[in-house]
Structure 1
Amino acid sequence: MSDTVMRHQIADYLNTSSTETPSFALMGVGFNTLDENPNAQTDGKTYIHQKAQSSQIKNYQTQFPFDTDLIASEEAVMALYSIGRNQRTGADAELEYVRVELFQPHVTLENTFSARKFKVAVAVTGITGAGGEAVKVTGTLHGVGDPVYGTFNTTTKIFTETA
């Protein structure tokens, strides 16, 4: 058996609630792609005794580009569409996003997996569709601040921060 991780072994959830109580919707049906680009930012310097530059990672500008079919019954798709359609800005265009590694189950807790929670600024760049085709919503989830590490229960849909 191969240890290669397949895309279906990473689950993505978007908090679609506008209240204090989170309601995480699976980003599944309708999503054609949802990638992760850590975008490491480097700082380089060449010292007087070197020919080549020395680099170090100074920060990350995490982005999650997405491509979806507009499916009206899918909560996560509609949350993204709504931000673009209504041209929301600032805090009104920010959501919580959880990326769950289904290939890393918790040792003792059932249906619980290693996860990271991000605050993301949703940048919808296109709501498009040619005649006879499904409407697509495309854009990028831009990381806001640092991710929170923890676990996510896929049955209860509760994220628990690691102490």
Structure 2
Amino acid sequence: MGKIKRSKFATFLKTGSGSGGSWSLVGEGVTGMTVSYNPQTSDETYIHQDSGTTDVESYKPTSSVPMTAVQGDPVFDFVDGLRKKRAVLDEARSEVCLVYLYETATGGAYPAEKNTCSIQIDDFGGEGGGSNVINFTINFVGDPVPGTFNPSTKAFTEDA
């Protein structure tokens, strides 16, 4: 039994467009990031009960990303490009891959899940005399695709 360091839970974002896109590690300029699962629940109290029931109906995961602007970092350059053109709908879509580096790898590939995502630009700027910051949200779209991800080759393989 042991603690799991944050560096053992990696997030890769598909940067670029179409077949020219590649997986880029989210990390440079980011000091904290979590996946909020945002459970969608329903509450009911049946007429023969005194206490209610809460059921989880679905999830709407998101990740809020506060990022110091680092020109040349592929994630910043990609997200900043979306900001500049105020991308919406399909233009704001990409893919995100959550990689569990704390689990056992097989052939260099770790358990992972891939999701379609929509990138939401929240704000851009900062305090005088400081670095620019871009805050954006990764909105997970649909169900995850389980598989493995090899950080060295940056290849995702869907489970059979």
What residue in structure 1 maps to residue 138 of structure 2?
A: 141
**Runs of 4+ residues deviating >3 angstroms:** none
What residue in structure 2 maps to residue 43 of structure 1?
A: 42
Distance (Å, rounded) in 2 between the aligned partners of 1:8 and 1:85: 30
Q: Output aligned runs, 1:37-116, within 5 Å.
A: 37-106=36-105, 109-116=106-113
Identity of aligned residues (%): 27
Distance (Å, rounded) in 2 between the aligned partners of 1:114 and 1:148: 11
SS in 1 for 2:128: coil
The alignment's TM-score, normalised by the length of structure 1, stands at 0.93
Aligned residues: 160
Kindly state the Cα deviation for residue 19 of structure 1 after the two structures are TM-superposed: 2.5
What residue in structure 1 maps to residue 152 of structure 2?
A: 155
Question: Structure 1 counterpart of 2:104, which letter?
Answer: P
Kindly state the Cα deviation for residue 50 of structure 1 after the two structures are TM-superposed: 1.2
What residue in structure 2 maps to residue 126 of structure 1?
A: 123
The alignment's TM-score, normalised by the length of structure 2, stands at 0.94
Structure 2 gaps, min length 5: none
Distance (Å, rounded) in 2 between the aligned partners of 1:7 and 1:63: 18
